[in-house]
A and B are shown apart, each in its own frame.
Chain A
Amino acid sequence: MPKVTIDNKVYEFEGRPKLLQFCMEHGIEIPYFCYHSAMSVPANCRQCLVKVGNPQVDRATREPVLDDDGNPVIQYFPKLQTSCSMDMTDGLVVHTHRTDELVARAQRDNLEFLLANHPLDCPICDQAGNCPLQNQAYKYGPEGSRFEFDKVHKPKKIELGPRVMLDGERCINCTRCVRFTSEISKSNQLTIIERGVKNYPLTPPGVVFDEPYSMNVIDICPVGALTSKDFRFRARAWEMSKTPSIVTGTSRGSNCYYWVKDNEVMRITARTNVEVNGYWLADVDRLNYRKFNDARPLGPDMVSEGARVSTDWDGAYERAATLLRGVSGDEVLFIGSAHASVEDNYLLMKLADHVGASAPVYIPHVEAGSGDDWLVTDDKAENAQGCERLGMHPVDETVVRARLDSGAIKLVYVMDEDPVASGLFTADQLKSVDVVLHYYNTTNETFPVANVSLPAATIVETIGTFVNDQGHAQRVRPVKAIQSMNRSLMMETGLSRQDRHATPFDKWSKAENKVNCQPGWVTIPEIASRLNLDLNYKSPKAIMAEIESSNPAFSGATYDAMGLTGARLAEVGTTV
């Protein structure tokens, strides 16, 4: 196998990888800006310089030339090379800044050039604290600058489109954003205009940067030149925690980070998962986070003597159990949810089975024709595939409506759904029956007719498994704390700097932003135990372990196997 020597250490490689990509994959850090694994290599930032050479070979004998000590003589390229554009060949000898002073100096000087006209407005820049230019300037750059003259000034508040703002001065002209529009999204809405110090990216006149994937350029911009109109100036990077999870509103389960400050989701950015979403996210998937912050219930409540009264959790569990006790199994319609995790739906199935009802159905959320061929799917629910694999089926509207109208259904048990808003029933139809409702938002249209309502933890407040439309099973982690949970004790939650270093008495711990809700894997076992069914698992992990071992459709989907990037399940009906 061909070999390469990097900083005096020998590595083997296959094919013809680019040197920078190879170093990235082997934990050898080299500073860089313009390179992106998914796009073409323009080698324009010049930050990734390294010294490279090949062992000298005697032309006559074809033998390597050795020096007096018997070591091969290396013939170095006359100039430093950009590692991002360097094809690796057998025998290549590479020196990074770790083993070569000239490389270190070239990287330092290059940063001085990149900063010559950079405004250094980090104190008011959204990217500060999370900025490759800032980080690398600290790490590899000079301490000062020899460019002691007025900087070139460029427009700073350019609305490129409805979602993306540009600060021309901060741009280092790496062309990543332009390459994204020409190579990845193919919208071709951006170009670099002018030249030299006047360069910056812009839409040509008459074009608005409004493509449905426009916000990806904010993620890949290595400086703070491109910012999100939605997020601008709302939080500093170090005030937020950043937790890996998946987005909602699509059945693709694109991987993302949720950024949380004071227990409110502030923004969603892309997380790389080559098997699911690559490096990208659709704009709609980034902007639908307000539902996690706004219109959240204050706590459980129930209808008592005709009036809605708030209650404590025990009161709500008891009421739900009482309602279930009062009817026979075939009089209950259980509605599970394609928005809820596999674990929660599984527990609901067990509860339905225990009371003698037929298996829960789920309400599909398919909007035909609304998807694209990329990350936006027709199916707007996150876990229809997980429901199917559990053996749940989409609700047969005509049948259940007829049963409701004929009085055959006396109790509708709804978990994390809104049958009124989705058009399954009207609110009036539900007035004649009892309704138990687990719900996310007070805007839920079934909520006004529910007899007992239990605020449910959303995907950002729970632990669970979701299966995307391609059969990729992925775990979600709690992103923000709920009232019953101390975020630093929940080991899975992403922690911000404040979480780690501050006390709960500091001003940024806003208790009022903690929602009084509970995940299904807490509430359903509570109700079940009042009906003499023991569903107390140690954790969602244990629930999933049971599903994995008992249901072949989930074979391989243990928490450990899913990890951060998920596990691809075999297609239903096939075995691995």
Chain B
Amino acid sequence: MSGHGAEIVTLPKINPADAIPADKLVFTAEEKAQLQEYKSRYPEAEGAVMRGLWFAQEKFGFLPPEVIRLVADELGIEYARAYGVATFYTQYYKQKMGKYVLDVCTCFSCQVCGGYDMLHHLEEKLGIKPGETTDDGLFSIQGVECLGACGSAPMLQVTNGPYVFNLTEDKLDALVDSLRSGKMPPFTSVTLPQDEEEMGGNRRSDAAAVATYQTPPVAGAVE
């Protein structure tokens, strides 16, 4: 490994100042009803924790402790439990993030295919470390675990949205440029092998755009 040194896990602030002012820290009657509806979908209130947190993140943009507590209270579950769930997933933002969050996968397959190189390229290019946000508030970067697209490693995800596959440094430069101009990468679907017939032998909707990536039809490859 390329001398990153030991991984250092930091202690979250035990008593952070509230990020959301008290008058804003409320759910409207409709929002409350929506949360109750989520709750009713599960045999136990705890089942709705992920949907509830997601809902709050859509409203507040991120999940500082006071928002996690608000969700827990609204759903009638334990704050500690909700906090544990929120910290488990990198998709829940525990702090205010940049407009574009670049989640670079550094899990097994992506790591082997250069995931860390991609992350470090972004670090140098944007002048920030994983977990930080650029001063203009445009970009945040994170190293994340497997996003389930190992077949197109290395890859990243933009703000819990579209995936960008088969990363190269050039591709990252282009991505950052296009995001600066406000253009999100297109959504690309990766289908299951049995659907490749319909897709002309390719499993990805962006096959035409990806010169390096052509899946030979499975049947052919097996021959």
Chain A residues 177-211 with CB under 8 Å of chain B are: 178, 181-182, 188-198, 200, 202-207
B22 at the interface (CB under 8 A from A): no
Q: How far is the CA of A272 from the CA of B145 in the complex (A)?
A: 42
Q: Mark B1-36, 1 if CB is under 8 A from A, else 0.
A: 100011111111111100000000000000000000
Cα distance, A258 to B9, chains bound together (Å): 37
Find the residue from B1, B9, B14, B80 having the highest chain A CB count within 10 A: B80
Judged by a CB distance under 8 angstroms, whether A326 is at the interface is no
| A66 on interface, CB distance cutoff 8 Å | no
Question: Which single member of B7, B13, B89 contacts A153 (CB below 8 Å)?
Answer: B7
Pairwise interchain contact A190-B7, C-beta atoms closer than 8 A: no
A168 at the B interface (CB under 8 A)? yes
B88 touches A182 (CB 8 A): no
Q: A149 touching B1 by the CB < 8 A rule?
A: yes
Q: How many A-B residue pairs have CB under 8 A?
A: 79
A152 to chain B, nearest CB (A): 5
Whether the Cβ atoms of A205 and B78 lie closer than 8 Å is no
Contacts of B80 in A (CB 8 A): 178, 181-182, 188-191, 203-204, 207
Q: Contacts A150-B5, A196-B145, A204-B79: A191 and B12 contacting too (C-beta < 8 A)?
A: no
- For the residues of B in contact with A, the DSSP-based class is loop
Q: Is the CB of B12 within 8 A of A193?
A: yes
Interface size class on chain A is 20 to 34
In-complex Cβ contact of A204 among B5, B7, B9, B65 (8 A): B65
| B15–A206 CB distance below 8 A | yes
Point out which of A168, A203, A207 has the most chain B C-beta atoms below 10 A from its C-beta: A207
User: Does A153 contact B83, Cβ atoms closer than 8 Å?
Assistant: no
In the assembled complex, the Cα of A22 lies from the Cα of B68 at a distance in Å of 41
Kindly list chain B residues whose C-beta atoms are within 8 Å of the C-beta of A158: 11
* B220 interfacial contact with A, CB 8 Å: no
Proximity string of chain B (45-70) to chain A, C-beta cutoff 8 Å, 1 when within and 0 when not: 00000000000000000000100110
Closest residue on chain A to residue B84 by CB atoms: A191
Whether B180 is near chain A, meaning CB under 8 Å from some CB there, is no
Contact B65 A206 (CB under 8 A): yes
A155 interface residue, CB < 8 Å from B?
yes
Known contacts being A189-B80, A192-B84, A193-B84, is A202 close to B12, with CB within 8 Å? yes
Which of B5, B10, B65, B88 interacts with A205 by CB under 8 Å? B65
A401 within 8 A of B: no
B171 in the interface, Cβ–Cβ < 8 Å? no
A403 is an interface residue with CB less than 8 A from chain B:
no
A207 touches B79 (CB 8 A): yes
Chain B hits for A236, CB < 8 A: none
Is B125 among interface residues, defined by CB-CB distance under 8 A? no
Smallest Cβ-Cβ distance to B80: which chain A residue: A191
Q: How far is the CB of A145 from chain B (nearest CB, A)?
A: 15
- B4 to A, closest residue via Cβ: A150
Q: A155-B10, A191-B81, A194-B87 given as contacts; is B15 within 8 A of A205 (CB)?
A: yes
Q: How far is the CA of A202 from the CA of B80 in the complex (A)?
A: 9
A541 located at the interface, meaning its Cβ lies under 8 Å from any Cβ of chain B in the complex: no
Q: B3 → chain A, closest Cβ, in Å? A: 10
A193 lies within 8 A of B78 (CB): no
On chain A, the residues within 8 Å of B69 by CB distance are 204, 206
A200 to B11, CA, bound (A): 10
**How distant is the Cα of A178 from the Cα of B83 in the complex, in angstroms?**
13
Query: Which residues of the partner chain B approach A206 to less than 8 Å between Cβ atoms?
Result: 14-15, 65, 69
**Structural contact, B78 and A182, CB atoms closer than 8 A:** yes
Are B6 and A205 in contact, with the CB atoms below 8 A?
Answer: no
Convert B76-111 into 0s and 1s, putting 1 for each residue whose CB lies closer than 8 angstroms to a CB of A: 001111111001110000000000000000000000
B81 CB contact (under 8 Å) in A188, A200, A203 = A188
Known: A191-B81, A193-B87. A205 touches B9 (CB 8 A): no
Q: A154-B9, A205-B13 are in contact. Are A194 and B88 (CB under 8 A)?
A: yes
Contact A150 B88 (CB under 8 A): no
Asked if A151 is an interface residue, CB under 8 A from chain B, the answer is yes
Distance (Å) between the CB of B156 and the closest chain A CB?
19
Q: Which residue on B lies nearest to A192, using beta carbons?
A: B84
Closest CB pairs A-B (n = 10): A191-B84, A150-B6, A204-B83, A205-B65, A191-B80, A155-B11, A188-B78, A193-B87, A154-B9, A152-B7
Can you list 6 contacts pairing A with B, beta carbon distance less than 8 Å? Answer: A149-B1, A155-B10, A189-B80, A196-B145, A198-B7, A206-B69
Interface residues of B (CB under 8 A from A): 1, 5-16, 65, 68-69, 78-84, 87-89, 145
Spell out A's residues near B (CB within 8 Å): 149-155, 158, 168, 178, 181-182, 188-198, 200, 202-207
Q: A192-B84, A198-B9 are in contact. List 11 more A-B contacts (CB 8 A).
A: A152-B6, A155-B10, A182-B81, A191-B84, A195-B145, A197-B9, A203-B14, A204-B84, A205-B13, A206-B14, A206-B69
